[in-house]
Structure 1
Amino acid sequence: MADQDDTPVFQIQRMYLKDLSLEQPNSPQILLEQQQPQVDINLAMAAGGVADGIFEVTVTATVTTKIKDKTLFLVEAKQAGIFEIRNVPQEQLQGILSIVCPQMIYPYLRAIVSDVCTRAGFPPIMLTEVNFQAMFEAQQAQAAANGSASGIITSAN
Structure 2
Amino acid sequence: MSDETLNGAAAPVDAAGPAFTVEKIYAKDVSFEAPGAPAVFNEAAQPQLQMNLNQSVQRLNDNAFEVVLGVTLTCTAGEKTLYVAEVKQAGVFGLLGFDAATLDAMLGTHCPGVLYPYARQLISELIQSGGFPPFFLQPINFDALYAEGLRQRSSQQLGEGGGLADAEAAGNA
TM-score (norm. length: structure 1): 0.87
- Corresponding residue number in structure 2 for 1:24: 34
Partner Cα separation in structure 1 for residue 129 and residue 40 of structure 2: 17
| Structure with the larger RCO, 1 or 2 (CA within 8 Å, 6+ apart) | 1
Moved more, 26-35 or 41-50: 26-35
Residue 60 of structure 1 is aligned with which of 65, 70, 74? Answer: 70
Task: Return 5+ residue gaps in structure 1 as ranges.
Answer: 149-157
Matched residue of 2:121: which SS?
A: helix
Identity of aligned residues (%): 33
What letter is aligned with 1:79? Answer: Q
Structure possessing the higher radius of gyration over alpha carbons: 2
Q: Does 2:63 correspond to 1:34?
A: no
**Compared CA separation, residues 70 and 5, structure 1 to 2 (3 A):** closer
Count the aligned residue pairs.
Answer: 146
**Compared CA separation, residues 5 and 76, structure 1 to 2 (3 A):** closer
Task: Return 5+ residue gaps in structure 2 as ranges.
Answer: 1-12, 159-173
- Corresponding residue number in structure 2 for 1:154: none
Q: Does 2:118 correspond to 1:114?
A: no
- TM-fit CA distance, 1:23: 0.6
Is residue 49–residue 76 contact of structure 2 (8 Å, CA) maintained in 1? yes
Residue 140 of structure 2 is aligned with which of 130, 133, 142? Answer: 130
- Corresponding residue number in structure 2 for 1:140: 150
Q: CA RMSD in A?
A: 1.6
> Greater helix percent: which structure?
2
